[in-house]
Structure 1
Amino acid sequence: MTGSSVYTIYDSPMKTSKTRQFYCGNIYFFLLPCLVLSTRIVQAQTSAAKVTGLLKAEMQTRHIPGLQLVVIRHRQIVLTQELGLASLEFKVPVSSGTLFSINSIAKVFTGTAVMQLEEQGKLKLDDPISCYLNDLPATWELVTIRQLLSHTSGLPDIEDDRTDGLVGNKGEGTAWEVVKTLPLTSRPGEKFNYIATNYLLAQRIIERLTGQPFENYIRMTQWKPAGLRKTVYGNSGDVTPQKSPTYTYYQLDRDKGERVPTKTLRQVNEIFPMSYRADAGVFSTATEMAHWLLALENGKLLKRRSIKTMWTPVGLNNGNYDGFDPPFNAYTLGWPVAVRKKHPAIAPIGGGRAVIINYPDDDLSVILFTNLSGCSPEVIAEKIAAVYLNSQ
């Protein structure tokens, strides 16, 4: 009904009772969507206020200098927030354009690239890597592409935990020759072992099949279709506009080969070799990664069946799953997984400072980037997700 027709129910005494009921019913159905929309706006404002309070409390407790947040609900961005400082030294506030180091989240681009090649018929996930690469030790030849991407290959690590560098303590060429002489850590498919060697080999396979440098292929087939303009590959020391330093309260104990907490805040200096970019080395914003995730879920990058394959946990030879600490107790093709009955999640985590948690069953995603390594962003992101899950 038009606005003038509605008003006539008050102006014309000649209308019958039945007609009055008809018009009143139309008013009801006109007002109902408005009431629903108003309720949703109030709920969104309430959720946003809760999230802001939660973030400020977590930043204070965990001493996080700055962060970006994006929440996606029903494939729409429903909340973006930027809090704190991108640079403590120069007191530069975080903006929507601040670039954060997302480290191992870069593996999601690799997994997606492999699935794109699978869709094109250029590879099969369960093919041995020896079908695509030469110059491999005989013990490596039966390892499959799926085992590389899920870190169940059993291969030795090309990185040295005790030096925070590459094995051989020299360059990439030396490290490659050294790692090939090392024994397998387990039979392929027997254990989960999170190592850089797996994604080094995945990058070589992608480059061989596409005939392109890895970075260029990712830019053209994923970043460009998703509208990513600021996201870059690089190192901590690269001069890039609006790039935040990464800070930490941890330092490497070379005797133990592990990071230990300290009371002194320092900058993290990370170098990601060119041949290891499938493993790490991306700087992005939470908003740009939200656009990438939406492009993925909306079918711009992969078909639905490929996404399902990419997000399906990879089991070990004995049928069990393995992964990081709970709740992320399994791993798939570039994505850690929380296998659980309520709110299962796929959650790539980068450098202990950045996380993307996607809840497929709940149509919810939380993207949280910080500039403090070791602040457990996945724990904070799960708390943020609970705000929305509890408001359903």
Structure 2
Amino acid sequence: MKFKFFTLSLLIQLALITASAIAQQLSTSDSIDNFIKAKMLQRHIPGLQLAVVRNGKIIKDITFGTANLEYNIKATDQTIFSVNSITKAFVGVAVMQLAEEHKLKITDPLSRYLDSLPDTWKNITLQQVLTHTSGLPDILDAEEQVIGHNNELEAMQKVKMLPIEFKPGEKFRYNQTGYVLVGQIITKLSGMHFTQFIEERQFKIAGMKLTRFGDSYDVIPNYAGAYTMTRQMGDDFVRNRTPGQAYMQFPIFFRTAAGIQSTATDMANWVIALKSGKLLKQASSIDLLWTPAILINGKIGGFNRLTNGYALGWPTVTREEHPAVGPVGGGRSALFVYLKDDLSIIVLTNLLQGNPDQFIDEIAGYYIPEMHEANGFGLPKNLKKLRAGLLQQGFDQAIPVAAHLKKNDPTFSLSENELNGWGYQLLGQKNILAALSIFKLNVSMYPQSANAYDSLAEVLEAANNPTLALVNYKKSLALDPQNKHAATRIEALTAR
């Protein structure tokens, strides 16, 4: 009887544990869903797909919103989105597949595989091309259209006449020309067109059933389309209040740079295939694929503070905490693989200014709580020290706490932009009093900054203190008479 009772007791405990785990998982899922819906509303994103991978499996796969605004067609898990420049990550894998077959080395010069190159191009390496450190002139014009009327021969003739932009390896500058050349090399060495090589060696192996190459000209079943919040008016771009149609054409020869259409599910399966050794056999190949280029000055270069490096077709999020590789596409799609956390997140949208790379870390925070922005994740080292002190002594003590830290450590410093950025983060978290304290600290440290006073005035308005807001807007305008925002707010507050 005791044995039976023990077994029953154990089963009950296991059931309770399982139920608790399921409840926690559902709670996490609901929280993510609410977060995503809020971001879509805030950013005017019509449709979005999300997939999350852990332990080699897809643990969340969900679609929100509208695929087609004209006909009010709901987005589903079968809806296909353009991944734009995430295509370059597939090209990086393709090059490493050829490297594993000893058909090329990434340190080889382009001239080993391509004829009729300008003399200044001949010693540029495949690695420099893939990492955007080549110095090649860009095949896109000032309006981001492929030169040469989408004709490969005409485009290559024109771009070859342009001067080299900088010494190879000297700096990072995003460039599409190199990827056109890489496409030519893949086609030559593989014996098939590069699009077919990627389809055969990646799409099919990874089970990407809905993924294909294409653009706005092609008729793609269940395509989510492309929307934008801006339109061109003369030489300027004007932001709209609602999304409008966007048109993107990627000539076939250009489709190493952009051109893959996919779903979050297919992209998740591609990540699983890559990490499990189905696409690249050697772990060293993936290490090389994801290692950012080192410039001549010993530093790395990338798009911004987040995606701050660039590897072989893969932007990198190089940082001490939770480093990642993070391909992004067209400001509308992003894929982050967290290198130390067994976590990958894919977000595809149909809005060119959706910028999901800006909130993927926050999604990760639902699985790794310390990664939530509200917990201080992503703050520079000295801001984290300040935050720790303020959590102990109160945000209203920001000025003396910062002074104390500086006194104890002469190397301790806080830049104006760092403080300003954190202040707006706190404001976005609706922690108005904390934000107010940080903006006051910024003004105390940078009393000659018009922007610091402007930001302080803005949060004072949010704190329902228009009198003090007006005082600080006037200080900002006195420091910078060209500050249109301050002038507009002064007029508005004075008219009350």
Deviations 1:29-75 (A, max 9, x none): 76665555434322211110110110111111111111111111222
Question: SS of the counterpart of 2:50?
Answer: strand
Question: SS of the counterpart of 1:102?
Answer: strand
Q: Give the letter aligned to residue 350 of structure 1.
A: G
Taking the aligned partners of 1:92 and 1:195, their CA distance within structure 2 comes to: 36
Give the 5 Å matches for 1:294-309. Answer: 294-302=272-280, 303-309=282-288
Question: SS of the counterpart of 1:373?
Answer: coil
Confirm or deny that 1:388 pairs with 2:381: no
* Of 293, 304, 308, the match for 1:325: 304
Q: Give the letter aligned to residue 56 of structure 1.
A: K
Partner in structure 1 of residue 156 of structure 2 = 176
Q: Give the letter aligned to residue 247 of structure 2.
A: N
Confirm or deny that 1:215 pairs with 2:195: yes
Partner in structure 2 of residue 275 of structure 1 = 253
Structure with more relative contact order (C-alpha pairs < 8 Å, separation 6 or more):
1
Task: Kindly indicate whether the alpha-carbon contact (under 8 Å) linking 2:44 and 2:242 is maintained by their aligned counterparts in 1.
Answer: no
Partner in structure 2 of residue 5 of structure 1 = none
CA 219–382 in structure 1, closer or farther in 2 if over 3 Å, else same: same
Taking the aligned partners of 2:316 and 2:197, their CA distance within structure 1 comes to: 26
- Number of residue pairs matched? 370
Confirm or deny that 1:286 pairs with 2:264: yes
Deviations 1:261-286 (A, max 9, x none): 23353211111011111110111100
Give the 5 Å matches for 1:12-31. Answer: 24=6
CA 181–49 in structure 1, closer or farther in 2 if over 3 Å, else same: same
Confirm or deny that 1:48 pairs with 2:26: no
Question: SS of the counterpart of 1:296?
Answer: helix
How high is the TM-score relative to the length of structure 2?
A: 0.71
Partner in structure 2 of residue 16 of structure 1 = none
Q: Give the letter aligned to residue 144 of structure 1.
A: T
* Of 198, 202, 211, the match for 1:231: 211
Taking the aligned partners of 1:272 and 1:107, their CA distance within structure 2 comes to: 13
Task: Identify unmatched segments of 5+ residues in structure 1.
Answer: 1-7, 12-22
CA-CA distance at 1:161 after TM superposition:
2.2
Partner in structure 2 of residue 93 of structure 1 = 74
Taking the aligned partners of 2:114 and 2:9, their CA distance within structure 1 comes to: 68
Partner in structure 1 of residue 147 of structure 2 = 167
Question: SS of the counterpart of 1:388?
Answer: coil
Task: Kindly indicate whether the alpha-carbon contact (under 8 Å) linking 1:355 and 1:367 is maintained by their aligned counterparts in 2.
Answer: yes
Taking the aligned partners of 1:169 and 1:110, their CA distance within structure 2 comes to: 24
In proportion to residue count, which structure has more strand?
1
Give the 5 Å matches for 1:124-143. Answer: 124-143=105-124
Partner in structure 1 of residue 397 of structure 2 = none
CA 72–170 in structure 1, closer or farther in 2 if over 3 Å, else same: closer
Q: CA RMSD in A?
A: 2.0
* Of 139, 143, 146, the match for 1:158: 139
Q: Give the letter aligned to residue 127 of structure 1.
A: D
Question: SS of the counterpart of 2:272?
Answer: helix
* Of 175, 183, 187, the match for 1:195: 175
Runs of 4+ in 1 over 4 A off after TM superposition: 26-36
* Of 321, 329, 348, the match for 1:369: 348
Taking the aligned partners of 2:246 and 2:235, their CA distance within structure 1 comes to: 20
Taking the aligned partners of 1:99 and 1:356, their CA distance within structure 2 comes to: 16
In proportion to residue count, which structure has more helix?
2
Taking the aligned partners of 2:116 and 2:355, their CA distance within structure 1 comes to: 39
* Of 64, 67, 80, the match for 2:48: 67
Taking the aligned partners of 1:39 and 1:278, their CA distance within structure 2 comes to: 47
* Of 2, 12, 16, the match for 1:9: 2
Taking the aligned partners of 2:11 and 2:142, their CA distance within structure 1 comes to: 65
CA-CA distance at 1:308 after TM superposition:
1.0
Task: Kindly indicate whether the alpha-carbon contact (under 8 Å) linking 1:366 and 1:381 is maintained by their aligned counterparts in 2.
Answer: yes
CA-CA distance at 1:380 after TM superposition:
2.3
Residue identity (%)? 42
Q: Give the letter aligned to residue 279 of structure 1.
A: A
Taking the aligned partners of 1:32 and 1:264, their CA distance within structure 2 comes to: 53
Task: Kindly indicate whether the alpha-carbon contact (under 8 Å) linking 1:207 and 1:213 is maintained by their aligned counterparts in 2.
Answer: yes
Task: Identify unmatched segments of 5+ residues in structure 2.
Answer: 372-496
How high is the TM-score relative to the length of structure 1?
A: 0.90
CA 293–64 in structure 1, closer or farther in 2 if over 3 Å, else same: same
CA 141–249 in structure 1, closer or farther in 2 if over 3 Å, else same: same
Q: Give the letter aligned to residue 91 of structure 2.
A: T
Question: SS of the counterpart of 1:317?
Answer: coil
Question: SS of the counterpart of 1:166?
Answer: coil
Task: Kindly indicate whether the alpha-carbon contact (under 8 Å) linking 1:166 and 1:172 is maintained by their aligned counterparts in 2.
Answer: no
Confirm or deny that 1:265 pairs with 2:258: no
